[in-house]
Amino acid sequence: LNIPPRTPGRTRLGVMGGTFDPIHHGHLVAASEVATVFDLDEVVFVPTGEPWQKAGQDVSDAEDRYLMTVVATASNPRFTVSRVDIERHGPTYTIDTLRDLHTQRPEAELFFITGADAMAEILTWKGAEELWRLARFVGVTRPGHVLSAPVGSESVSLLNVPAMAISSTDCRARVAAGKPVWYLVPDGVVQYINKYGLYRGAATDRPPGH
Ligand code: ATP
Ligand code: MG
């Protein structure tokens, strides 16, 4: 594992992008582990605006996904949440996320954290070559997916993190089926989901205007 030496005067900022519909312990463990191993000063979670990979799928309101991410990360002094992607119009591309964060935090070295499934698709992302210049990429293991660095990629590190066989898709399906999501997502997120009736399925869709 090649961990670059710290550059004096520069902060090390992890970037955890995701739909977070809802955020779960797989996301949190991955971010925490990368922060420890790469000696990051902070990890910023960035909920997507309109995820282009999920076009045509039913994604929860950005504001609900943002608030669940805030609730889930509030107790960790090194975790923060950014609105850059939900405030930009149009579909979310990682290249825009990294450009915006670089503009806001020019002193920071960026470490983009991505699970094995997303790592496999990275070369299909818009602006793949510029991505390597803007950030170091840290690909983390995820149960059910094979982790490998994309061919021709620079600045990619691969890291084993504790295996959490959890996905947001499974959490949504569990809520829709009336099964518990306790211990898969943080307690505050369970309560948020219940309070606003998220994921209850088409039959009990939220009332218009909610
Ligand atoms: P969905 O099922 O809706 O796609 P998801 O669980 O895959 O949700 P995302 O918001 O799509 O969650 O993922 C955001 C990032 O977190 C991606 O890089 C993904 O690979 C990573 N990730 C998600 N779950 C895990 C996990 N259990 N272990 C490691 N990485 C994960
Ligand atoms: Mg996913």
Q: Which pLDDT does position 205 carry in this prediction?
A: 46
Q: Which pLDDT does position 132 carry in this prediction?
A: 87
Mutate to test the pocket of ligand 1, among 15, 16, 19 (most ligand atoms within 8 A of CB): 19
Give domain 12-204's CATH number out of 3.90.1150.10, 1.10.3720.10, 3.40.640.10, 3.40.50.620.
3.40.50.620
CA 129/CA 47 separation, integer angstroms? 23
- Phi-psi label, residue 208: left if phi above 0, alpha if psi -120 to 50, beta otherwise: beta
- Ligand 1 centroid to Cα of residue 118, in Å, is 8
- Ligand 2 centroid to Cα of residue 18, in Å, is 7
Say what the ipTM of the complex is: 0.99
Contact call for residues 123 and 150 (beta carbons, < 8 A)? yes
Nearest Cα to Cα of residue 160 among 141, 147, 144: 141
CA 21/CA 94 separation, integer angstroms? 18
* Average pLDDT per consecutive 10 residues, the chain (210 residues; last block may be shorter): 84 97 98 97 95 80 97 98 96 93 97 92 78 93 91 83 98 98 98 97 50
Structure token digits, residue 141: 């293991």
CA 20/CA 83 separation, integer angstroms? 13
Q: Which pLDDT does position 78 carry in this prediction?
A: 98
For residue 20, the ligand 1 atom closest to its alpha carbon is: 10
* Closest C-alpha to ligand 1, atom 20: 115
For residue 170, the ligand 1 atom closest to its alpha carbon is: 2
- Ligand 1 centroid to Cα of residue 33, in Å, is 15
For residue 113, the ligand 1 atom closest to its alpha carbon is: 18
